[in-house]
Amino acid sequence: MLEHFNQASFEAAVAGDKPVLVDFFATWCGPCRMIAPAIEEIAAAFDGRAVVGKVDVDQEPALAKRFGVMSIPTLIVLVKGKVVEQAIGARSKNDISAMLERHL
């Protein structure tokens, strides 16, 4: 299930034992819209094994700043609250899935 994180829900998600994939995006961002269907499919495919969520950088600028997000889309994988992998720019569904798979 795809989650839409705000500051409070983000903290709860990354505190768990499952890896977390976060898609930092904006509604006006073309490449963000291009990868959105892949992110939704990945969320369904990894349901129960990982947490997949999105952070709208316009609505949650503090989260974007905390992770140094300067370009979007930025994809970050966290394990136990620590960044273990990061990618900037549009990626294929396979590439994004592999990012998460490496940390299960």
Q: What is the per-residue pLDDT across 32-83, written as a single tens digit (0 to 9) for each?
A: 999 999 999 999 999 999 999 999 999 999 999 999 999 999 999 999 999 9
CATH of the domain at 22: 3.40.30.10
State the residue range of the domain holding 73: 2-101
Q: What is the pLDDT of residue 87?
A: 97
Catalytic residue among 29, 38, 39, 51: 29
Is 77 tagged catalytic?
Answer: no
Is the peptide bond preceding residue 73 cis, with omega within 30 degrees of 0? Answer: yes
Query: What global pTM score does this model have?
Result: 0.95
Catalytic residue among 13, 22, 32, 99: 32
Tally of domains in the chain: 1
Is 29 tagged catalytic?
Answer: yes
Q: What is the DSSP string of 83-96?
A: EEEEEES---HHHH
